[in-house]
Amino acid sequence: MRRIVRSEAICLRVQDYHESSKLVTFFTLEHGKVSCLAKGARRLRSKFGAALDLFAQSRIIYYSHETRTLLTLSDAELVRSFSGLATEPERFLAAEQMSEFVLRVIQPQDPSPQLYQLLLNYLTTLESLQDPEAEESRTQGVKGSSGRPGTRILESSTPRPLPGALVCSFLLKAASFLGFRPELRRCLICRRPIESKRPAYFDPGRGGVICPRCAGDKPSGARLDSASLDTLSFLLYTPASEIASLSPQFLSPPSSLLPPLDLVLGFLGHHFDPLVLNSFRWHAGLERNI
């Protein structure tokens, strides 16, 4: 017996399948991750059109069969193409890193509507980022401290830290929605708020920060200066649109975002299947040497 299923979906992966078809992995709003066979999708006049492009958001209809594991895509109506992401390599890479994470950490047919909305929101924000030249001219002469946490970090000689900051922010929030929100404001042991302007220790296994007093002489986590802690906190608790509206000079350049990103990846590595995480890092170009 076959069942017809309708859902809103984001296209996470597309592979050619035989001569005329495609195998498409969607992240659906109602049913989580599903893989569908799109028959005839490789033909020039395929009925699916741009709905099967990477990151495209569409309304899909598919059939599930009791006896077959592969689902059959019946229809896909494009809602939003996100084609603007392909016009700039850094934006595209950032979108790929986010979708790779989702692709690898969620299980088939396990709905996660919050994560779906998060991905959609971050893809929308990424696409809305201005072109590098526009960003540069917008921020010319706007250097110095904004006085708000996480935004005062460093002046950048590289004008494109925003896609990387959005990836870092997405990973922190996605992990939170999946049940692993890192504790960044209070010491995990004494529960006192971490004092500003003081370093702390980030223990990825325990899932958060430990104050210097509790860490003692032999701290178990990595030392985190207060600027990096501010950045992590800022990226976890600030809406994507607000991060995107920051002047790039107020955010760390990509090289300075790496310590927090590395910490985030270390944290994720403790809470998700290591094989899945390594595969995500490799596919998303987030190996340690970047």
Tell me which residues touch Zn ion (CB under 5 A). 187, 189-190, 211, 214
Name the minimum Å distance from CB 194 to Zn ion. Answer: 8
CA distance 150 to 114: 25
Residue 270: strand, helix, or coil: helix
Q: Please, what is the minimum distance in Å from the beta carbon of residue 212 to Zn ion?
A: 8
∠ CA 72-75-81, nearest 5°, is 115
The CA distance from 177 to 257, in Å, is 22
Contact 3, 63 (CB under 8 A): yes
Q: How far is the CB of 195 from Zn ion (least distance, A)?
A: 10
How far is Cα 281 from Cα 263, in angstroms, rounded to an integer?
13
Residue 232, token pair as written in the block: 């992590």
* Cα separation, 131 vs 138, whole angstroms: 11
| Nearer to Zn ion among residue 93 and residue 214 (C-beta) | 214
What is the closest distance, in whole angstroms, from the C-beta atom of residue 57 to Zn ion in the complex?
44
Q: Which is nearer to Zn ion, 172 or 209 (CB)?
A: 209
Token pair 């990595």 is found at 222
Is 13 or 206 the residue whose CB approaches Zn ion more closely?
206
- In the complex, the smallest distance separating the C-beta of residue 191 from Zn ion, rounded to whole angstroms, is 7
Shortest distance, position 236 Cβ to Zn ion, whole Å: 20
For Zn ion, give the closer residue by CB, 148 or 223: 223
Residue 76 or 200: the one with the smaller Cβ distance to Zn ion is 200
Structure tokens given for 116: 């779906």
3-state DSSP assignment of residue 54 = coil
What is the C-alpha separation between 177 and 46, in angstroms, rounded? Answer: 36
Q: Distance between CA atoms of 26 and 103, rounded to whole angstroms?
A: 9
Nearer to Zn ion among residue 178 and residue 222 (C-beta): 222
Nearest residue (CB) to Zn ion, 219 versus 269: 219
Distance, CA of 168 to CA of 153 (rounded, Å): 15
| Minimal CB distance residue for Zn ion | 187
| Cα distance between residue 76 and residue 59, in whole Å | 6
Nearer to Zn ion by C-beta: 216 or 239? 216
**Shortest Cβ distance from residue 183 to Zn ion (Å)?**
11
The least CB distance from residue 186 to Zn ion, in Å, is 8
**What do you get for the CA distance between the two ends of the chain, in Å?**
49
